[in-house]
Amino acid sequence: MTRTVPSRAALVALLVLSCVPAASNASAAAAPRTTPRTPVRSGAAAARAPVAALKRPATAIAAEARAFEDEGDYAKAAARLRELRAQSAPDADLELFLALDEARSGRPDSAWARLTGPLLTAALADSLPATRQREYDFQHREAAWRSGRYEGWNWYVARARAEVALVTRRWREACDAARIAAAARPLSGKDQLLLAVAAGRADRASEAAAAAARAVALDPSLPEAHSLHGLWEWRAGRRANARAAFESAIARDSSYRNAALALARMQLPGMRPDSLPVRFLSGRRQVAMLVSARRPKQEETPRFDQPAGVLGAPRMELDAEMKRQLQLARPLRLFVTVYVDEQGRPVVNDLPFAPAGSLPDRLVADVNTLASTWRFRPAQRLGNPVACWATLELTLNP
């Protein structure tokens, strides 16, 4: 039998063809890929992958935002509220707190855009029912972020707008918003002071001077109110009144430089009145501002082991004229909230909402003045004194 033997050339060709797949695979492994290789996941990583793609529960996000606010980390709180906003129905309470946290963390322009957006513009006009005319409850504020309806007080929107407008030097807008805030809380000296500062910067001199005088009349404990009233008295040529106002401001806070400098300058011949301020509260009193980073805020969860305690029982006796005006048939209970520093001294105080005409201006002034004289045992945390808000009940007998 004749056997055909392949030629040498055929054997070489067959060997080359048999090596092509291996060479092709090697080249493919060495050459750069144009599409990413799908990573090989371990069992734990593969199990976690579907969870990462899911939305986090809104309750968990809101709880984290509240925790960051309570710690004073407003930037992280704002980040969590933006995450909550992205997966929630439009909610004005959520939008408001996001704007506040952005302003507190150094983003006033972003806060202004939110405060003047359609959602909070509608909330600004939403003031009923009257039961909403109160501060946010620190125990339930995150529930309001997820309700899908505005549950807050339109005063918050007006006050925040005015404060942010001052920070960003939008004087006319600050004045317009401050006017709404002052009307919403007609017996608040701080809101009258805010209006006085904003109106002065907006070149509305008569409105500013009147608001400054009313701020002093409602809350004589505010040195900024006395100082601003003194500036307007100086501008009107009533130098004796101006001097008395500056001295009153210094008596209430000896570290308040604006009043001390104005008093010194006024005593020099030929000096013109100082320029108007751009802030309505200064130093530690800025804790009472909505958009300042000073804390704790009233709506934040108290963080202490032992609360502040007043030394002695707060008492106030009404004179005959005040009794005649009030015509009390039974004791009147007032709840006064005071910011107490680490030494147990009151820094700034706040009264709850009261409609116009419900209390005489002089009574409001007397309560604010009295609260500024109270002394406290400071709150304690981990054995150290801490500043906090304390609410006291003051009973006025007929």
Structural domains of the chain ordered from first start = 57-152 (1.25.40), 159-282 (1.25.40.10), 303-396 (3.30.2420)
**If you average pLDDT over residues 14-31, what whole number do you get?**
39
Percent of the chain with pLDDT over 70: 86
Q: Per-residue confidence at 37, pLDDT binned at 50, 70, 90?
A: very low
- Summarised one tens digit per residue, pLDDT across range 105-150 is 999 999 999 999 999 999 999 877 888 888 887 777 888 898 888 8
Q: Does residue 46 carry a pLDDT above 70?
A: no
The model carries a pTM of: 0.85
Output the pLDDT for position 167.
97
What tens digit of pLDDT does each residue of 144-198 get?
898 888 889 999 999 999 999 999 999 999 999 999 999 999 999 999 999 999 9
Those residues with Cβ within 8 angstroms of residue 7's Cβ, 6 or more apart along the chain or in another chain = none
Query: Contact, 226 vs 245, CB < 8 A?
Result: yes
Residues 6+ apart with CB under 8 A from 51: none
Tell whether the model's pLDDT for residue 218 goes beyond 50. yes
Q: Residue 267: is it exposed, middle or buried by C-beta count within 10 angstroms (0-12/13-18/19+)?
A: exposed
Q: Is the pLDDT of residue 27 over 90?
A: no
What's the half-sphere exposure (Cβ side, CA atoms, 13 Å) at 92? 20
Pairing of strands 332-340, 309-310: unpaired
